[in-house]
Amino acid sequence: MRGRGKLSELPRNFPKNPTKIWNFTNAYEWEPAKEPIDSPQGQIDLVSLDKGGGVGPALALADAFVSLHRSISVGLIPCAKGATSISQWLKKPDAPPRSTLFGSCVNRIKTVSPANGSLRVAIFWQGARDAKTLDGALKWKERFAAFVGDLRSDLGLPNLPVVLIMLGKPEGKGPIKYPYWEVVRQQQRAVDIPGVIKIEADGYERKEDGMHFTTKGQLAFGATLATLLPAP
């Protein structure tokens, strides 16, 4: 969700609905949404700090969703950190909340005033780092279930829809440093949690590493994701 697409490759007319899409930035401020959504500028919760921000699927998703539902506006709350394992997203009750990725994410969501609208869906895209070790790969499903349960519990939203973006099949040379990539994919396909919507991340343009999406791929994938979200 951090995004790896190049900002320079964004089309000039993107987004098409600029007045209807807002971003709760990493500086804890609402602003008209623009790429990079996960910008490090003014970031407060340093636990999720990435050195740079790229084009991800979030703004393209919001833009397509608004185009499908013309009467609404959308607010994005990015909670992203590149190159992380699923264990780093688990709740750690004994740690200061904003010192963890889970705690920071929950705090950001709770900081947003109910006057700005209700949380409609969480989108989760992660898994590559867990493909480095067999133990991490085999425990992915179990740890994801714990993450979803704690997220819903802490937010008081037991039926919160969650979109799980599953790892796509590598293209080209593939992830040489990730020998258990297919094991993670199997774990993700085996997830069976009520209210969790799964989608394969295949068929979209990728960068030379065969893993991350180009800007074109991110925009196309975001538009596809918009069709999966619950209608307002």
- Residue 121 domain-assigned (yes or no): yes
CA dihedral 87, 88, 91, 96 (to 10 degrees): 150
Query: Mind listing the pLDDT tens digit for each residue in 25-40?
Result: 999 999 999 999 999 9
- Residue 183 domain-assigned (yes or no): yes
Of 47-51, 56-60, 61-65, 176-180, minimum mean pLDDT range: 176-180
- Residue 222 domain-assigned (yes or no): yes
- Residue 2 domain-assigned (yes or no): no
Q: Give the CATH number for residue 139.
A: 3.40.50.1110
- Residue 232 domain-assigned (yes or no): no
Specify the pTM: 0.95
Q: Is the pLDDT of residue 58 over 80?
A: yes
d(CA 163, CA 201): 12
Of residues 169, 160, 68, 154, the one with CA closest to residue 121:
160
- Residue 80 domain-assigned (yes or no): yes
Output Rg (C-alpha) for the chain, integer angstroms.
Answer: 17
d(CA 181, CA 167): 8
For the chain, percent of residues with pLDDT exceeding 70:
98
pLDDT score at 172: 67
- Residue 231 domain-assigned (yes or no): no
Query: Mind listing the pLDDT tens digit for each residue in 69-124?
Result: 999 999 999 999 999 999 999 999 999 989 999 999 999 999 999 999 999 999 99
Question: Token match 């971003």: residue?
Answer: 23
Task: Provide the residue range defining the domain that includes 42.
Answer: 7-226
State both tokens at 117.
Answer: 């609208």
Query: Mind listing the pLDDT tens digit for each residue in 135-144?
Result: 999 999 999 9
* Local structure of residue 98 (DSSP, 8 states): G
d(CA 191, CA 110): 27
Backbone phi and psi for residue 65, each to the nearest 5 degrees, phi listed first: -65, -40
- Residue 23 domain-assigned (yes or no): yes
**Residue 144 corresponds to which amino acid?**
F
- 53 strand-pairing partners: none
* Strand-pair category, 74-76 with 196-200: unpaired
Question: Token match 């396909």: residue?
Answer: 189
Tally of domains in the chain: 1
Q: Is the pLDDT of residue 132 over 60?
A: yes
What value does the mean pLDDT of the chain take? Answer: 95
